[in-house]
Amino acid sequence: MEKNKNYKKQKIWFYVMAISSMIYIIWRLFFTIPFGLGAISLIMGILLVSAELISVLESLIRHFAIGSANFPKLPLLDEVQFPEIDVLIATHSEDEELLYKTINGCKYMEYPDKSKVHIYVCDDNNRIEIKNLATKMGVGYFGLSDNKFAKAGNLNNALSKISSPLVVTFDADMIPKSKFLMKTVPYFFLPKVIENKDGSYRMRTQEELNEDYKIGFIQTPQTFYNSDLFQFNLYAENNIPNEQDYFFKEVNVSRNKTNSPIYAGSNTVISKQALIDVGGIRTGTVTEDFATGIDIQSKGYTCYAIFDVLASGLVPTTFVELIKQRIRWGRGCVQTLRSFKFLRSKLSLAGKLSYLGCLLYWTAFSRRIIYILSPILYSVFGVISVDIELWQFLFIGFPTYLIYNKGIKVLSNGKIDFRWNNIVDTIIAPYLMLPIFFETIGLKMNKFHVTEKKINNEKSTNYIYAIPNLIFLVASIIGIYFVVNGIIIHKMYVNIIILFWLVINSYFLLMASIFMLGRTNFRSSERFYANIPLTYHINNIKIEATTTDLSETGLSFITESVGFIDYSKPIKLTIKDRQYEAIIDAKVIHVHTVNNSYQYHMIISEINDHNKAQYTALLYDRKPSFPDRIKTKGIDDLFHFIKKKKEKQKFSNRKLPRIIINKDFKDIFGTQFKIIDFNYQHFVAKVKNDIDILEFCIDGSINVKAQKLSVMKDGRCLFEIENWKEIAPNISINRLL
């Protein structure tokens, strides 16, 4: 079994958290509820302690198996053992270009016998343009009209027409890596093989086979190649992981221990027999994938979630789409679990508790509102929801708070912490609290909303959505005034507890409010940071370079060689990375100096079908360029946001390299001058003030005629070469130096 390297440390922290949390909850239940202080205080006291109790239970369930032996080692198979496999790409209204990238990624997935891989676009809008795209790309197409069961109906329609023993499901935006099949399919052979002590495998004998051991699905993480809104709006894409990383890379993998990893609907390989046994993808719910996963596990199938990032897609790029997505997830989860039918299923007791934890998780947003309201009600209206003394808080409450803060960071491998977890919950709590509550009491959501999948180039401003948290923030600040006044004037030192609470809440509310200020996305496609060999030619001389970043529309590369590249014309760039090679035509849009090298920023002007396929595969067959751990501490996030918000977007139009020369020359009249720097079209020189025109020779054969444009503050002069377009291709920088 693959084991987390921090296993021992995480287990220690889990038990420390569990013990401290249980002590805290016992203290809260028996010694702090405000009996005898009025009905409103009692109601708020019960709501608050209930929220804390649910938080503790949900946290203990969620973290129980984190750090354990999470999934078996990938078996090694002979090539002939790899079975036929059907790949289903579910689409509803996504555009052709988005689907092109996903289909292209599927076509580049490695497999011993590619003829065994059957790719199908499952289009429940039956669009002729998508059918034509599938035909052009050489993949199958299943069209469906008048689909009453949303994504479930779309996939079930496809399942009725395919026959391979394994099925892969991808959402329309999820682009697989080339290793996707090779790192997932072998797991389905676990019931048939045994690992030897030397790490090799052998087939089980007939006597060793266990008919009850069968693999249902392998779930890989859902990762994203664009920054999520929390990263983007708060300028934190270089400081925090994607918000979904914690669940898919830590929580879902830990659920293997209880055989309850969640089927997320995409990036998954599923046993066709398992789907037959459960009657296909479950309908009648807005989270068909979540429900189907429970059905498969209830039939006795063993399922695994794995760490490997093997596909990446798009997160919502507007707050409205984000909220719609989370409402669908939350209501669908509650809808599936609310009847508690899963408790009567054949899931193990531990598996049932694990899914109960899922149900409890979606109360987090109601709990967040209670945590925000409680100190406000006390400080502004005198409603006491916790009846404690300062010394009790210092000896029990505060240590538990510190242990929990440290504990969740250790247990999440640094992917979340108390601070960021509460910032995210505070941002979305006002908009998820009521929908989740309505679903809990039986007001069912039946309409399926497809999350819009596209890059948004408009400013993501949502001022109106900031109103609830702004109101809470103002109320908290007013509360701070009153409690400080009580501490100073009336010596009410117990108010220190409320002050601490209000200050922390105010920070979360402030971050939630400035999140809504939004940020403009100036890029039409996502940028990937990668160092890949690149070559091009200048005057038949091969120049070697290395990319620094790439996107669908352009790229940057760095080279120590310098030469004239006509920015008005495209040049051919050859990029080679692993099995990929792409030749593209690109134009220079900006050049700048980096130490002793030159960085060129290029825009792609032309690329044929073959090279587009290669370049697209090269681009997306890599891990997204986001951190794996939170890098900031304390309130660094706020200062970082303020700094970034003040920065102005800089656009530069320097399209020729600025080369330091520092060499003396003489013009045709014998006037001596020194060229400081040079970029083929212009140069800066030290020359007499009365000289407006310079005519001189480079290499004894290249005649240069330049006119002064301006005089700088330090006396140096800027000249423009009048015949630069004619002579630039012939200038050798090495000879000039």
How confident is the model at residue 736, as a pLDDT? 72
Mean pLDDT of 273-287: 94
With 90 as the cut, is the pLDDT of residue 185 above it? yes
How confident is the model at residue 595, as a pLDDT? 87
Mean pLDDT of 508-525: 89
Helical spans, DSSP H, in 115-187: 128-137, 150-159
How confident is the model at residue 6, as a pLDDT? 76
How confident is the model at residue 469, as a pLDDT? 97
Q: What is the mean pLDDT of the chain?
A: 92
Mean pLDDT of 240-256: 94
3-class DSSP state of 142: strand
Q: How far is CA 361 from CA 93, 247, 254, 355, 729, in A?
A: 31, 12, 16, 10, 65
If pLDDT is split at 50, 70 and 90, which confidence band does 376 have? very high
* Sign of the dihedral defined by the CA atoms of residues 65, 66, 71, 73, in that order: negative
Percent of the chain with pLDDT over 70: 96
Mean pLDDT of 521-547: 90
With 80 as the cut, is the pLDDT of residue 67 above it? no
Q: What type of residue sits at position 618?
A: L
Q: How far is CA 611 from the centre of its chain?
A: 27
**Could you give the CA distance from residue 596 to residue 721 in angstroms, rounded to a whole number?**
25
- The count of C-alpha atoms lying within 13 angstroms of the C-alpha of 281, restricted to the half-sphere facing its C-beta, is 27
With 80 as the cut, is the pLDDT of residue 649 above it? no
**Could you give the CA distance from residue 682 to residue 722 in angstroms, rounded to a whole number?**
9
Q: What are 480's two structure tokens?
A: 């701070």
How confident is the model at residue 446, as a pLDDT? 59
Element (H, E) at 720: strand 717-721
* Sign of the dihedral defined by the CA atoms of residues 228, 329, 59, 71, in that order: negative
Q: How far is CA 458 from CA 243, 454, 512, 650, in A?
A: 22, 12, 20, 18
Max mean pLDDT range (368-372, 538-542, 643-647, 711-715): 368-372
Q: Residues 127, 131, 136, 141: what is their CA dihedral angle, to the nearest 10 degrees?
A: 150
If pLDDT is split at 50, 70 and 90, which confidence band does 478 have? very high
CB of 599 closer than 8 Å to CB of 545: no
With 60 as the cut, is the pLDDT of residue 1 above it? no
Burial of 54 (0-12, 13-18, 19+ CB in 10 A): middle
Q: Tell me the Cα Rg of the chain.
A: 31
With 90 as the cut, is the pLDDT of residue 364 above it? yes
Helical spans, DSSP H, in 278-318: 288-298
Record: fold of 75-361: Spore Coat Polysaccharide Biosynthesis Protein SpsA; Chain A (3.90.550)
All structural domains of the chain with their residue ranges: 2-63+363-447+461-515, 75-361, 531-620, 659-736
**Could you give the CA distance from residue 708 to residue 535 in angstroms, rounded to a whole number?**
36
If pLDDT is split at 50, 70 and 90, which confidence band does 234 have? very high
Summarised one tens digit per residue, pLDDT across range 395-449 is 999 999 999 999 999 999 999 999 999 999 999 999 999 999 999 988 876 565 6
With 80 as the cut, is the pLDDT of residue 139 above it? yes
How confident is the model at residue 454, as a pLDDT? 66
Mean pLDDT of 601-605: 96
Q: What type of residue sits at position 352?
A: K
CB of 181 closer than 8 Å to CB of 109: yes
How confident is the model at residue 459, as a pLDDT? 63
Summarised one tens digit per residue, pLDDT across range 316-329 is 989 999 999 999 99
- Say yes or no: domain 531-620 is CATH 2.40.10.220: yes
3-class DSSP state of 24: helix
**Could you give the CA distance from residue 325 to residue 321 in angstroms, rounded to a whole number?**
6
Summarised one tens digit per residue, pLDDT across range 660-709 is 989 999 998 888 999 999 999 999 999 988 899 999 988 778 899 999 99
Query: Pairing relation of β-strands 193-195 and 2-3?
Result: unpaired
**CA angle, 193 then 169 then 203, to 5°:** 5
- What are residue 328's phi and psi, to 5 degrees? -65, -45
With 80 as the cut, is the pLDDT of residue 625 above it? yes
Task: List beta partners, residue 202.
Answer: 194
Task: List beta partners, residue 590.
Answer: 601
**Could you give the CA distance from residue 316 to residue 309 in angstroms, rounded to a whole number?**
19
**CA angle, 252 then 253 then 258, to 5°:** 85
Query: Pairing relation of β-strands 571-577 and 580-594?
Result: antiparallel
Mean pLDDT of 139-159: 93
How confident is the model at residue 339, as a pLDDT? 77
CB of 16 closer than 8 Å to CB of 399: no
How confident is the model at residue 452, as a pLDDT? 67
Closest CA to 615 of 547, 661, 692: 547
Mean pLDDT of 542-554: 95
**Could you give the CA distance from residue 452 to residue 550 in angstroms, rounded to a whole number?**
24
